[in-house]
Structure 1
Amino acid sequence: MEVPDIWSKPRRRLIGPFCVQMVEPIDLYWKCGLANPHTSHCLGSGQIMISCMGEPAGGGKGGFVLLDGETFEVVGNWEHPGEAAPFGYDFWYQPRHNVMISTEWGAPKALIHGFNPAHVKEGHYGSSLHVWDWTTHRKLQTLDLGEDGAIPLEIRFLHDPNATEGFVGCALRGCVFRFYRTLKGDWAAEKVISVPSKKVEGWMLPEMPGLITDILISLDDRFLYFSNWLHGDIRQYDITDRRNPRLVGQVFLGGSIISDGPVKVLEDPEKHGQTHPRIIKGKRVSGGPQMLQLSLDGRRLYVTTSLFSGWDKQFYPDMMREGSVMMQIDVDSDQGGLSVNENFLVDFGKEPDGPALAHELRYPGGDCTSDIWI
C-alpha cells in the first residue's frame, strides 16, 4: 500500500479570490532544524529567504530557510551547518558589497508568554549583530552591542546600493545604532540615538523604556522613523548627517503612560510626562505604535499597534479585547514633521472573526522595507 506524502509540497488554500501558499512547520523542522520564521526577502536567484528565531524545542537559533520561489517547497538552509547564530530575528543584505547582517530577539520559549526581565540576565535575549558573507554564506563577524544594544530587532541598510552603512533599533534600552564598514574592510557599530527611560510607578519596573520595536528609512535615505511601543510615540529623524541624527517630528498614539492609565510618570528627562489618550473616528487607540510602513513618496506613514500576542496580552490587555488598529500619519517630507490623519482608521476589532491583532504592513508592488537595490 502506498502511503501518500502529505508533507512533500506546500498546501494551497483559497481565501476569497486569492490563493495562499502554506509552508508547514514540519518541513522547517525536518529539512532545516528551524522554527519560528520571521523576516522574508526575495533573492535575485528567484528563491525566497526567511530568517528563523529558534529551533523546534524553543531554544534560540538564528538560521535561514530557502524556499523555491515558484513552488514554495523548502530547499534547505542558507547558512552552513554549525554556523547558525545564537538567536535570530531580522536581516538585510547588500549584494553589491557581498554582505548580509542579521539581528537577534530571544529564545522563543522565553518570550512567547510575555517579557520577564530575569530572562535577560539569564541570557535568553540577544544583543549582537551577525555579519555574513553573501556569496559563501559564512559568518564573518559578531558585533556585540553591549547593554545599550540589548534586543536588536529591525535592521535597515540605506537604500543607496553604494552605501555601506545603516541603522538598527535596539528595543530594551531604546537605542539606535549605526553600523558601517570600516576602512579596514570589517564592520563596526556606534550608538547614535538614545531614548531615555522614564521613572514610573504602577508598572512592572521602576523605569520604563521606550521599547523601539520598528524602524524604517525613507526611500531617499533622508529620514529615519521608529516607534516607541511603550512610551507611545513615533519619531522622525533627519539622518543627512549619518552619525548625528536630528529629531524633526514626533507624534503620540496611545502607549503605557496615558494620563488616565495605571502608570504614573515620576520623572521624565524629555519632559513629556503623561500623554493624552488618542481617539480617532470615535475609537480609542489601545496599545502603542508598533509596525511602520512608509509610502514610496515619503508622505504617508502607516502604523499598526500589535507587537506579539504574548506581549500584547501582558502590556495592553485592552487591545486583546478590542483588537488592534491601523492609523495614518501625514509626513512633512521637506522640513520634517508628523501629524495624525484624523479621518483614517482601520479597526481590526470589527473583523468578522475578531477582534484581530494586525501586525505587519505591506504595499502591493514594493515599499520602503521590502525593496533591495542591486
Structure 2
Amino acid sequence: MALWKPDPTFYPSPRDAAAGPPEKLAYVAAFDRAAAEPDAIAVLDVDPDSASYGDVVGWSELPGLGDELHHFGWNACSSALCPGSPHPHVERRYLIVPGLRSSDIHVLDTKDDPLKPQLVKTITAAELAGRAGYSRPHTVHCGPEGLYVTALGGADGAEGPGGIALLDHTSFEVLGRWEVDRGPQFFAYDAWWHIAHDVLVSSEWGTPSMIEDGVVGELLLGREYGHSLHFWDLRKRKHVQTVDLGDQHQMVLELRPAHDPTKQYGFAGVVVNVEDLSASVWLWHRDGDAWAATKVIIIPAEPADAADLPPVIAPFGAVPPLVTDIDLSVDDQWLYVSCWGTGELKRYDVSDPFHPVEAGSVRIGGIVDRAPHPAEPGLPLAGGPQMVEVSRDGRRVYVTNSLYGAWDDQFYPDGVGAWMAKLDSTPEGFTFDERFFPHGDAFRGRRPHQTRLQGGDASSDSYCYP
C-alpha cells in the first residue's frame, strides 16, 4: 500500500518554511496591453548555479486575447496542514491565473513539465458570474476549504458589490459566493486571514468602471475610491467590523498579515493621500474586543517640475510615491514597500510592528528619475518596483515593473517598458543582483506583473503552527 505524505512544499510553521530549499524557478504573469497577442506565464531560471540564470526558460501562452493576467496563486499551500480543515493530500501543482479584464480564470498544471505549464481548464466569465455572482477576478489565495478568489465587480454588468468566490481545490469548479452576510461591504480588492483565529480581512479599490481606464481624477479628488478595511468571521462568513482609514486615504490595496499564527496584526498599503500625495502603510491590530488600524509609515511625495510629469499629476508639481504593493518576510521582520511612482523599493524592520524602522532603499525606474539597473547603467528605465515577492528564507526579493495596463499608460505615457529585477537581502542591507535583469525582448512584447516562486513564497502560504 502506498504511503501518503503531504506535499514537501507544505510547511507547518514559518520557521520550517524559511529552512526549506531555495526556489529554482519563478513564474511571472506577462500581459499584452494591446490584446493583439495572448497573455502568457513566463518561467524564469532563478538558480544562480545554472547556465541560464536570469533567463526566460519557459513560456506558456493562453488561448484567448485580452485577459490582462493579474494576481495569480497556487491551488494549495501550507494551509492544507491546518487542523481545522486538513487537506494534506492535495499538491502544490496548479497555477490559478485570473484575467482581470476577461473575467476568465485559467488553471495551469506545472507538475509534468515545470518549464511549460499546461492549460488544463478555463473557468469562464459566465461560470464565475452564474455561480458566484462576480466578475473581474483579481487575487487568488489558497486556503481552508478551497481557493478564495477576490473579484471587483458583480455579474451581468453590475458594478458591485465585489467580493470573494470560492473554488474547489481539486475540480476547480466555482462553489459559489463566499459571503453569507456581507454587511456594508461593497468595494473589494484583496483578502487574507488570521487563519488560526477564524478572522478574514478584506480591502478596497473600486468597481470596474472606476478602474477600467485608469485613475479617474474626479473620483480621486472626490474621495470616492475605497478607504476602509473589513473584518469577517472566517467560519461564519459574516461581516464583523469596518475600519475606515479616512476618505483622504484613497485605495487600500495589498494586505500582509503576520505569518506567525499566534499574532493578530498585519499591514495594509494605501496608494495616496489626496491632501498631500503621500502614501502610507497601516497596521491593523486588536484593540480590546474590536479591531483598529494605525498609520505606521508615511512616504511623502517628491517635488518635481510640472513639465517632467504626465498630465494626470502635472497640476500637482510633485511625484506621488504610489505604494502599490507591499510584502512581509516569512519571519515577520522585514516589510518591503514598492513606490511605483518614485521608482523606489524601501525596506523596513518591523520587528516592532507599531514602530517600523527604515532599513534600506534602492531606486530603479520612476516617473521622473528613470534610474537604470546597475547591470546596464546607460539604460534609463520606465515603470518602477511594483509587484514585489520575497523568497521563503527572506534572502531574495523579486520585483517587476508593470502595474495595470491603464495605470501604466497614464503615469508612463511614453511607454512603461518591461523589466524584472532581483535583490539580495541580508540583515546588513539589500542590493541588486547584477546577474539578474531580464528586460525588453525577454518578455516578447508583454508586460511582466506578478511573480510566484516554485515551492511557495512570502505571500502565498498561511501557517497554522507557531
What TM-score results when the alignment is normalised by the length of structure 1?
0.85
Quick check: 1:148–1:170 contact (8 Å CA) kept in 2?
no
> For 2:160 and 2:418, how far apart are their aligned partners in 1?
28
Give the aligned partner of residue 109 of structure 1.
Answer: 209
Aligned residue runs from structure 1 range 40-189, under 5 A: 40-45=140-145, 47-56=146-155, 57=157, 59-80=159-180, 83=183, 85-122=185-222, 124-147=224-247, 149-173=249-273, 174-183=279-288, 185-189=289-293
Percent identity (aligned): 36
- Number of the residue aligned with 1:373: 463
1:299 aligned to 2:392? no
2:346 paired with 1:235: yes
Q: Is contact 1:62-1:104 (8 Å) kept?
A: no
Separation in structure 2 between the aligned mates of residue 188 and residue 162 of structure 1, nearest angstrom: 18
Which of the numbers 401, 416, 421 marks the counterpart of 1:327?
421
Q: Is the 8 A contact 1:58 1:108 kept in 2?
A: no
Instruction: Describe the shift of the 1:249–1:124 C-alpha distance in structure 2 as closer, same or farther (beyond 3 A).
Output: same
Cα 1:319–1:40 shift into 2, 3 Å: same
CA distance in 2, matches of 1:11, 1:102: 23
Change (3 A) 1:119 1:368: same
User: Aligned-pair distance for 1:252?
Assistant: 0.3
Q: 1:361 to 1:247 in 2, by over 3 A?
A: same
Counterpart position of 2:122: 22
What is the deviation of 1:95? 2.1
1:207-243: per-residue Cα shift (whole Å, max 9, x none)? 3320101001111111111100001100000111211
Equivalent residue, structure 2, for 1:267: none
Matched letter for residue 159 of structure 1: H
Provide closer, same or farther for how the CA distance between residues 11 and 194 of structure 1 changes in structure 2, counting only shifts above 3 A: closer
Instruction: Report the Cα distance in structure 1 between the residues aligned to 2:389 and 2:450, rounded to whole angstroms.
Output: 8
Corresponding residue SS for 1:280? coil
Counterparts of 1:69 and 1:156, CA distance in 2: 23
Bigger relative CO (Cα 8 Å, ≥ 6 apart): 2
> What do the CA deviations read for 1:255-285 (whole angstroms, capped 9, x no partner)?
1121xxxxxxxxxxxxxxxx74446347543
**Bigger Cα displacement from structure 2, 227-236 vs 118-127:** 118-127
Distance in 1, matches of 2:129 and 2:419, equals 33
Give the aligned partner of residue 447 of structure 2.
357
| 3-state secondary structure, aligned to 1:163 | coil
TM-score by length of 2: 0.69
Cα RMSD between the aligned structures?
2.3
